[in-house]
Amino acid sequence: MESGTRLFWMLITTLLAASVYFGIGAESRRRQAQQSQGTLTDREVVSLLHVVDGDSVMVRNRSGQRVSIRLIGVKALAASAERGMGASFGAAAAAELKHRLTDVPIEVRLNDPPLDRHRRILAKLFVGENDVALNLVARGLLIAYPVHPFEGRPAYLAAQASARAERLGLWRDEEVSKIAGLRFERWEQDAK
pTM value?
0.77
Tell me what pLDDT residue 1 has.
59
Dist. CA 157–CA 136, nearest whole Å: 12
Q: What is the chain's mean pLDDT, rounded? A: 86
Looking at residues 165-178, what average pLDDT do you find? 91
Tell me what pLDDT residue 178 has.
85
The residue extents of the domains of the chain are 1-34, 36-191
* β pairing state of 66-71 and 74-75: unpaired
Looking at residues 5-16, what average pLDDT do you find? 80
What is the CATH number assigned to the segment(s) 36-191?
Answer: 2.40.50.90
Query: Does residue 136 register a pLDDT over 70?
Result: yes
Q: What is the pLDDT of residues 28-72, one digit of tens each?
A: 545 554 555 788 999 999 999 999 999 999 999 999 999 999 999
Tell me what pLDDT residue 72 has.
96
What pLDDT band is residue 116 in, cutting at 50, 70 and 90? confident
Q: What is the pLDDT of residues 71-110, one digit of tens each?
A: 999 999 887 655 566 788 889 999 999 999 999 999 999 9
**Burial letters 24-63, b for 16+ CB under 10 A, else e:** eeeeeeeeeebebebebeeebebebeebbbbbbbbbebee
Tell me what pLDDT residue 117 has.
80
CA distances from 103 to 16, 48, 92, 127 (A): 41, 7, 19, 11
